[in-house]
Structure 1
C-alpha cells in the first residue's frame, strides 16, 4: 500500500523487467518537464516584450528564476502543493472557457472540402503521439492514489474512479472547445508561425490580435496552465527518479531525493536556456514513450498479473493496445523518413 510505481512494477514483472519499465516511465515524464520549462520561459519572455513593453532579463536569469519558483512550490510540502493546485485549477478552467467562447465571433469558417483519404489518414496517424502527450496525466496518478487511499481509506477505489471519470470528461470537453476555438480563429499560416516562434497558442494570440482582453488573459492562462501541468508531472518524475536511484545505489531516500532535485533543476534550466522546439520534443520523445507505458504495458499486465486477468476480454483493453501500437509506429515512420 505504501509502495511507489517502481515497487509495484517490480512486484508484478520481476526485478529486471521492472527496472526497464521504471526507466521508461521516468523517460516518459522527464522530457515533459523540459518542455514545460521551455514553454514557461517563452511565455513570460513574450509577455514582457509584447504586452508589458519592457526588455526582458537575459534568458539564463529569467529561466533560472522561473524554474526556481516552480521547484519552491513543490518543495513546500503536500499542503502547499495542493493549495497551489486549488488556487490555479478553478480560475484556469473558468477563464479558459470564457476565452474559448469569447473567440467564437472571430472564427473564420473554412470552405470544407473532402481531403485526400490517404493524406488525411496519415496526418491523423502521425498526430497520435502529440494527442497522447496532450491528454496524459499519468505522472500524477501514483501520488493521487496515495492521497485518495489516505483520505477515503476503504472507499478509495470507488472514489478515485468517480473523480477520474468526471475530470476526464471535463478535460476532454474544455480542451477540445479551446483547441477548435483557437484553430478557427487563426489561419494555417499563423499556426505555423506560432510553431516557428516556439510559443504557446495563447501567447501568439495575445501578440497578433492586439485585443486588450486576450493580451491580458492569454499569457496569464498559459502561465497558469503550464505551471499546474508542471507540478503534476514533477510528482511522477520525482517519485520515479528517487525509486530508480535508491534501487541502483546505496543512497538513502533523503539523499536520493536531494540528488534527484538537483539533477531535475539543472536539466530543466539548461533546456529552457537552449530553447529547443517544443512540438519536436513532444513528437520525438514523450509521446511514443508515454504510449508504451499507458497503452502497451497495460495489455501485457492484463495477461501477466492475476487480478487484472478479468479485463482480458474487455473491448477497452484492445482499444488501448491498438492506440499504443499506432503511436509507436508513427514515431518509427517519422524516424525512417
Structure 2
C-alpha cells in the first residue's frame, strides 16, 4: 500500500519538488502547542514557500497554452477560478487529514479510517495512476524539448526520434539509479531558481505584449469558447496542485500548535501560499499570452512543446532563444525525476500489497528490475509515439488529480461525521469544478 512517506517525501512533486526532512515524519501526534497561532513566525514562512514550491513545476509551462488559446474571456474566467479552486480544495484536504484519529498516517490513514481498507487500496491505485500519467507526459515533453533544442538552437537536424527518445530516457533513468537522496538534492537546488526564472521571463516579455488576444474570436463561437474553457480546467488543477505535501504539512503544524490552533494556522499559511503561487503563475501566464497570439498558442499545442520552447523558436533574440529551452529542459527533468520516484514507490507498494492478498512474496531485487524495465519500456514508447501532452493532462492526469483533490474531500465533508462541521457554500463550488474537471476526461476520450 502507498504509505505516507511515499506520498510526501518520495513523490512530493505533483508539481515542483520540495524535500521534506525525515524529522517531520517522526514529529507526529498531538501535543501541547509550543507556538502561538496568532503570531507569524519564521517556520510559517518556510512552510508557505514549501507549499508554493511544491505547486510550481513543469506543469506551469503548459498552462499559458490552454488558458490563452480560446481568447480573452476564458483567460479571465480561469483567473477568477484559480485562487478559490486551489485554496478551498487544499483546505478541505488538509481538514480531512486533521479529522483523522491517526494523524501520523496522513491522508492514507484518513481514507482507511473513513471508508475502510478496500477504499484505501483503490485510492492507492488512483494516486499511482495520477503520478504515472504525469511521468509519461513528462517523457514526451523532455523528448520534444530536446528535439526542439537540437533542431532550432543547435542546428542539428535529421536525428531519428527513436534515438533521441532512447538517449533521453536512459539518461534520466541513469540519474534515477544514482539514488533517491541525490534526486531530492537535485530537485531542491532547482526549485527556487526555476520560480525566479518564470518571473524573469515574464518581465522580459513585457515589451512584446500585444492586443491580438483581445480581438480573437474562437472557432465555433461561444460554444467553441466554452469547450476551450472546459478543457482548461484539468490543466488549471494540475498546474496549481500541491496535495502531496499537505499531509506532512498538517502533521507538522498539529505537532507545533496542537488541536485547538492547527486549523487556524494551516488556513493562514495556505491562504498566503496560494496567493503567492496565484500571483506568480498568473503573471507568467498573462505575460506569455499577451506576448503571443491565440494562433501562436495553437501552434505550440500542435507542436506538442512547452511554452518556453515555443517562445525560444518564436522570438529572434539570443536570450530567449537559448535561455528558455534550457530552463524548460531543466524544469521538465526536475519534474520527471520526482515523479519517477513517486511512481516507482507507488507501483512497488501496489505489487507488494497484491502479493499479500494472494499470499505471495516477491524478492526486492526482482521487483526493482521489473519496475525499472516497465518504466523504461513504457516511457520510451509513449515518448516515441508523441501523444498530445495537453491531451494527457486533459483526459488523464488532471481528472485523476481532481478526483483526489476536489471530489474525495467533499465526499468526506458530506458523509463523515467528523468532517460535517466544515460544510459551507464553498463546498458546492469545489464539487462543481471537480465534476467539470473529471467530466473533461470522458469528453476527451470520446473525441
TM-score (norm 1): 0.84
Report if aligned partners of 1:36, 1:226 keep a CA contact under 8 Å in 2: yes
How many Å apart are 1:62 and its aligned residue? 2.4
Residues 152, 328 of structure 1: CA spacing in aligned structure 2 closer, same or farther, 3 A cutoff? closer
Structure 1 gaps, min length 5:
none
How many Å apart are 1:284 and its aligned residue? 1.8
Which segment drifts farther, 260-269 or 33-42? Answer: 260-269
Q: Of 308, 328, 333, which residue of structure 2 is paired with 1:202?
A: 308
Residues 111, 41 of structure 1: CA spacing in aligned structure 2 closer, same or farther, 3 A cutoff? closer
How many Å apart are 1:21 and its aligned residue? 2.6
Separation in 2 of the partners of 1:29 and 1:95? 25
Report if aligned partners of 2:6, 2:342 keep a CA contact under 8 Å in 1: no
Report if aligned partners of 1:133, 1:282 keep a CA contact under 8 Å in 2: yes
Residues 277, 154 of structure 1: CA spacing in aligned structure 2 closer, same or farther, 3 A cutoff? same
Report if aligned partners of 2:176, 2:183 keep a CA contact under 8 Å in 1: yes
2:440 alignment counterpart? 330
Residues 2, 44 of structure 1: CA spacing in aligned structure 2 closer, same or farther, 3 A cutoff? closer
What secondary structure sits across from 2:212 in the alignment?
coil
2:380 alignment counterpart? 269
How many Å apart are 1:165 and its aligned residue? 5.1
- Which of the pair is proportionally richer in helix? 1
Matched, 1:42 2:144: yes
Separation in 1 of the partners of 2:445 and 2:176? 36
2:178 alignment counterpart? 76
Structure 2 gaps, min length 5:
8-106
What secondary structure sits across from 2:324 in the alignment?
helix
What secondary structure sits across from 2:304 in the alignment?
coil
Number of aligned residues? 332
Q: Of 291, 304, 320, which residue of structure 2 is paired with 1:214?
A: 320
What secondary structure sits across from 1:210 in the alignment?
coil
Separation in 1 of the partners of 2:328 and 2:162? 21
Separation in 1 of the partners of 2:213 and 2:141? 33
Which segment drifts farther, 115-124 or 236-245? Answer: 115-124
Matched, 1:171 2:277: yes
Separation in 1 of the partners of 2:391 and 2:213? 29
The alignment yields a C-alpha RMSD, in angstroms, of 3.2
Residues 329, 2 of structure 1: CA spacing in aligned structure 2 closer, same or farther, 3 A cutoff? closer
Residues 263, 100 of structure 1: CA spacing in aligned structure 2 closer, same or farther, 3 A cutoff? same
How many Å apart are 1:128 and its aligned residue? 1.1
Residues 318, 111 of structure 1: CA spacing in aligned structure 2 closer, same or farther, 3 A cutoff? closer
Post-superposition CA distance 1:252-279 (Å, at most 9, x none): 4834344333322321121111111112
How many Å apart are 1:34 and its aligned residue? 0.7
2:256 alignment counterpart? 155
